[in-house]
């Protein structure tokens, strides 16, 4: 189940309970981010234990375009995370909709 930028922006504005994770690389995160915790895609397997406390929580993953976060979404779903969402279009869609 994916989420679009407008829904995510509204959910963040409402302070909804969301675990927001940026799966891009550190230099991408420094250039622009929407407030997510940085966990690069390659590091996801090594931090699964830390994420297990959010097994039933809504997790929104994002990257530049939605590809890497889609891979992370699939990985976490395979491990039993039930509410993992991918930001459609990633940061590029966010910038298109809201600017930087």
The residues carrying an active-site annotation are 63
How far apart, in whole angstroms, are the C-alpha atoms of residue 92 and residue 55?
A: 28
CA–CA distance, 95 with 16 (Å, rounded to integer): 21
Q: Give the integer Cα–Cα distance in Å for 9 and 13.
A: 6
């Amino acid at each position: 189940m994916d989420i679009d930028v407008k829904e995510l922006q509204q959910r963040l504005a409402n302070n909804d309970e969301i675990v927001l994770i940026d799966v891009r690389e550190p230099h991408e995160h420094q250039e622009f981010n929407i407030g997510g915790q940085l966990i690069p895609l390659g590091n996801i397997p090594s931090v699964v234990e830390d994420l297990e406390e959010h097994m039933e929580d809504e997790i929104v993953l994002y990257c530049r375009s939605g590809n890497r976060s889609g891979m992370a979404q699939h990985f976490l779903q395979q491990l039993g995370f039930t509410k993992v969402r991918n930001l459609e279009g990633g940061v590029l869609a966010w910038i298109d909709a809201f600017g930087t």
